[in-house]
């Protein structure tokens, strides 16, 4: 199956940038769990852009940031992989009812701002490698 690498990379990158900005905008209205959910989505899509560009193949169907990071072929520190593992939980905890209540309670403004800053730092690091 033919893959237009530039077009697919651009699609994932534009979508990642949109989701990161959506996360930022939700801070202002106090939708803290969704700030982190959109932060996760932004990282997921940016990683998919990198996979497509470097591997020249379609991005895998997964939400696992660590799995995607491994697929990029980048040298990623253990510390960064730990952050990606933590950020993957923001996807799971906002989607599934059993996890949601506890996660929502954990998402104070201070917690969310700290974690979103971490997401933005990782995003910037990855973006420089695209």
Where do the domains of the chain lie? 5-129
Question: Residue 57 and residue 116: Cα distance in Å, rounded?
Answer: 30
Here the tokens at position 91 are 């996807």
What is the CATH number assigned to the segment(s) 5-129?
1.20.120.330
Distance CA 80, CA 19 (A): 21
Task: Give the pLDDT score at 125.
Answer: 97
Tell me, rounded to whole angstroms, the distance of Cα 66 from its chain centroid. Answer: 10
pLDDT, tens digit (0-9, with 9 covering 90-100), for 96-123: 677 778 888 899 999 999 999 999 999 9
Over residues 29-81, the pLDDT tens digits come to: 999 999 999 999 999 999 999 999 999 999 999 999 999 999 999 999 999 99
pTM: 0.94
Confidence band, pLDDT 50/70/90 cuts, at residue 91 = confident
Q: Report the pLDDT value the prediction gives residue 78, as an integer from 0 to 100.
A: 97
């Amino acid at each position: 199956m033919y893959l237009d690498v530039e077009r697919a990379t651009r699609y994932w990158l534009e979508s990642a940038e949109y989701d990161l900005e959506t996360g930022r905008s939700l801070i202002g209205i106090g939708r803290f769990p969704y700030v982190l959910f959109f932060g996760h989505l932004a990282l997921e899509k940016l990683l998919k852009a990198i996979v497509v560009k470097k591997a020249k193949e379609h991005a895998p169907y997964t939400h696992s940031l660590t799995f995607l990071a491994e697929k990029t072929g980048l040298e990623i520190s253990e510390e960064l992989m730990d952050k990606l593992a933590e950020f993957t939980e923001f996807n799971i905890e906002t989607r599934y009812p059993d996890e949601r209540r506890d996660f929502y309670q954990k998402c104070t403004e201070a917690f969310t701002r700290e974690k979103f800053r971490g997401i933005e730092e990782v995003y910037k690091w990855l973006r420089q490698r695209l």
